[in-house]
Structure 1
Amino acid sequence: MELVHRKMKLKGVENNCLLLIFFLISIGLGAQSDKVPIPVLDGEWWQIASTPDLGEYNTKEQQPVDFGIWKAKDGTWQLWSCIRNSNFAPGTPLSSEYSTTRFLYGWEGKSLFEKDWKPQGIKWTAEPSLGETPGGMQAPYVFKEDNFYYLFYGDWQRISLAKSLDGKNFERVLGGNGQPDLFAEYGYGGNTFYTQARDPMVVKKGNTYYCYYTSHADEPINDGAAFARTSVNMRDWSESVMISHTPAHKGSDPRFSDECPQVVYLKEYNLYYLFVTQQYGKDSQTTVYASQNPLYFGVDDDSRKVCTLPIAAPEIIIEDGQYYLAALNPELNGVRIIKLKWE
C-alpha cells in the first residue's frame, strides 16, 4: 500500500509539472505575440511626383501606378513609375479585346525629403525584338549589390532583368535565349493574358535571393496570389511557391488582391513582413502579414495577418536607420512618402 501511495504522489507531481510547463509555454507564446510590431504611418505625407505631361501621349485617363524608388550612385533619388492608360504605342493585342500602352516614366530628387521631384521623361520601354510585349512595361524594382544596380521589371508576361553601374542608365541582361526574361508564371484557360508575372521585388538572406511577385492562380480560376522564387545567382530561379492568397476588398476584383508585394525583414524579431495590395484609389487597402518563414505568409489563412493600411502599391525605404513608406495618391495622380514606425 505504501508503494502504491508513493506512486500516486509521484503521479500527482508529474501532472502538476506538466500543467506548469503548459502554463509557462502559454505565457511565453502570449509574450511572443505581444512582441510582433505593427507598422504605423507616422506624421504627414509629402508628394514627390504627379501625373506627368506626356505631350502627344497624353490622355485624360493616364495614371502613374506601380513604381520603384532607389538612390543612384551620385546620391540622387530615382523614381520610375509604370504609366497606364496613355496614348503610347498601342501595342499588340493579347486577345481580341485587349491591348496595352505602358512604359516606365522617371523623376529625380536631390533628397528623399524634397517635394515634387524633377520629371525625367520616359525611361524604359518594351523591346519586342527581345520577346517583350509592346507597351507592356510594368512595376520596376532596383536591388543594389556591390557596385551594380539590378533592375527587375515585368514585361507583361515575364519577370526580366537589367543592370547598371550608376543606377540611372540600365542595360538588359540577356540569358541563353538572347532575351532578358528570368521566369513567367502559370497561365490558365488558354488565355496568355493571365500568364502575367509582375510587380517583382527582391531581398537577400545569406547567399539566397528571394524574388517576390504577383500573378494568377490555377485554382480558383480568375484569382490572384503572391508568389516567390529563390536563386543564388539571379539567373537560375527555383520553381514558384505561393506565399499568400488574400481575400478581395469591398468587392474588388479577386484577380488583383495580392498586388505589389513588398517584404521587409526585422532582424531583432526574426520576422518577415509582407505587404500586399487589394485595391487602388480612394478605398485603397494593403494587408500586412508577419512570418518567420520568408516563403509562407498564409494561403487562405489569416493567422499571420498583422493589420491593414489604407494605401496602395507600397514601397519600403530605409534611410539612415529610419523606415519610410512610399505609396500612390488616393486619386492615382502621383506618388507620396511618409515615415513608417513599428509599434
Structure 2
Amino acid sequence: MKKLNVLSLIFITISFFSCQEKSQIYVPTIDGEWWQVAGDPDLGEYTSPKQQPVDFGVWQAADGTWQLWSCIRNTECGGETRLFYRWEGESLTDTDWKQMGIAMKADTLLGETFGGLQAPYVIEKDGMYYMFYGDWVNICLAISEDGKNFTRVMNDEGTPALFKGPYNNTRDPMVLEYNGLFYCYYMGHVKETKPNSAIFCRTSADLKNWSQPIMVSGGGVAATKTSWFGGDAECPYVVNKDGLFYLFRNQLYGEDNHNTQYCSPNLLDFGVDDDQYLIGTLDVAAPEIIFHKGEYYMAALLPSLKGIRIAKLKWVALSIGLSRCLQR
C-alpha cells in the first residue's frame, strides 16, 4: 500500500473533526505472500499467444468446491475476443486449481455481442446462484442451482439483459446485499462527458427489476493514474465492514497495476470529482474480496496478466488520531 501524503491526512482530520459520531477507518492491506490459483488456460482452437485472463469471479459452489470464472481476452474466438473459462479448487488456499474448460461464450442469437462477455460475478441467495456479467453493452443475468452450470435468464424481449448505461460499454458488475436491497455496482465510459469513466449503482429487491442509476464514484486523483479515458473506474468492488463501506476502484492492469480505495458511510456516495473518502492505494488489479470462515482474502490478477492469485487480507486501523468522525 502506498502511504497517503501529509496534506491528505490533515484534510481527513479537519474535514470530520466537528462530527459527533466516530467510526474507525481501516485500510485494506495484503497480509503475507500470494499463491497462484489459475494460469494461462488451453482454449483449444481459440488459444492465442496474446490471450490474457482478466476480470473474474470467485465463489463456493453447492458441493463446497471453489469456482473461478475469468474473462479471457485477446483469444481467437472472434468479435471482441472474449469468453469465460472456468477453474475449480478444493480449498481456497490450494494452488493451481484444476482447469475445467470453456464455461460460456457470447450467444448472438440472444442479443449478446459476438465475443463480448466480460467480468462474471456470482452471489448465492436462498439456494440459488446468480451470475451477473457484461455482454459488451448490457449487464446480464444467469442462474444456477449447483453454482457450476448456469442458464441465462430471459427478459420479455428474449435476451438476458437486465440494464445498460448511462455510459457506454456497461461492464464489471458486482452485487452487495444490504438491509433488504441488492446494490449492483458497475462501470462505463464515454468520451464526451466528464467524468469520462465512472462507477454507477442500481438497486433491486428481487435481482431482476432494477432502479435508475446513480453515479457513485468518478474523477478525482484516480482519474489521473491512467492515460486511457475509459479505464480509471474499472472493476468496482464494495465491502461492508463495521457499518462503513469500502470501494476498490481500478486504474491499471499489468506490471504497473494500480487500485484506489475509498471508505464512506454512504454506499451510494464514494465521491465524484471529490477525494474526501480516499484512504489508500494497492498495487493490484481487478481485486475481489472473499470472506471465508472469519478471514478476509483478496484475489487479483497476476502482474503478467497470465493468471490469478490470492492472498490473505487484513484491515489496519488508519490511526486512532485519524479515525474519521463520519456524518451518517
- TM-score of the aligned structures, taking structure 1 as reference length: 0.84
**Displacement, 1:114?**
0.5
Equivalent of 2:248, from 275, 280, 305? 275
Please identify which structure carries the higher strand content: 2
Distance in 2 of aligned mates of 1:128 and 1:186: 22
Tell whether the 8 Å contact from 1:249 to 1:279 is kept in structure 2 after alignment: no
1:328 shift after superposition? 0.2
Between stretches 248-257 and 171-180, larger displacement belongs to 248-257
Residues 72 and 78 of structure 1 are in contact (CA less than 8 Å); yes or no, is this contact kept in structure 2? yes
Q: Distance between the aligned counterparts of 2:91 and 2:293, measured in 1?
A: 13
Counterpart AA for 1:204: E
Q: Is the 8 A contact 2:190 2:196 kept in 1?
A: yes
Equivalent residue letter for 1:293: N
Give secondary structure in 1 for the equivalent of 2:22: helix
Which structure: greater helix fraction? 1
Work out which of the residue numbers 257, 260, 264 in structure 1 matches 2:232.
Answer: 257
Question: CA–CA distance in 2 between the matches of 1:229 and 1:28?
Answer: 29
2:31 corresponding residue in structure 1: 42
Larger radius of gyration: 1
- 1:116 and 2:116 matched: no
Structure 2 residue corresponding to 1:68, chosen from 53, 57, 72? 57
Q: CA deviation at 1:58?
A: 1.7
CA root-mean-square deviation: 1.8
Gaps of 5+ in 2: 1-15, 317-328
Structure 2 matches for 1:297-336, cutoff 5 A?
297-336=270-309
Percentage of matched positions with identical amino acids: 52
Cα distance in 1, alignment partners of residues 98 and 50 from structure 2: 22
Asked if structure 1 preserves the Cα contact closer than 8 Å seen for 2:191 and 2:229, the reply is: no
CA contact (8 A) 1:260 1:276 kept: yes
Contact 2:233 / 2:249 at 8 angstroms: preserved in 1? yes
- What letter corresponds to residue 276 of structure 2 in structure 1? S
CA distance in 2, matches of 1:128, 1:141: 21
Give 3-state SS (helix, strand or coil) of 1:248's partner. Answer: helix
User: How many residues get paired?
Assistant: 300
Deviations 1:188-244 (A, max 9, x none): xxxxxxx21101000111221100001125753682111100011111111111110
Deviations 1:231-288 (A, max 9, x none): 111111111111101433544312110100000001x2x1010101001011111000
Quick one: which amino acid aligns to residue 260 of structure 1?
C
Judged with a 3 Å threshold, the aligned counterparts in structure 2 of structure 1 residues 253 and 235 are, in CA distance, closer, same or farther, namely same
Distance 1:237 1:231 in 2: 5
Asked whether the 8 Å contact 1:140–1:154 carries over to 2, the reply is: yes
The separation in 1 between residues aligned to 2:75 and 2:310, in whole angstroms, is 25
- Measured in 2, the distance between the counterparts of 1:218 and 1:281 equals 24
What SS does the aligned partner of 2:45 have?
Answer: helix
Instruction: Mark the CA change 1:147 to 1:62 in structure 2 (over 3 Å): closer, same or farther.
Output: same
Per the alignment, do residues 288 and 233 of structure 1 end up closer, same or farther by CA in structure 2, a change over 3 Å counting?
same
Q: Does structure 1 residue 52 correspond to structure 2 residue 52?
A: no
Contact 1:67 1:141 in 2 (8 A): yes
**Whose relative contact order is higher, 1 or 2, with alpha carbons under 8 Å and at least 6 apart?**
2
TM-score between the two structures when normalised by the length of structure 2:
0.88
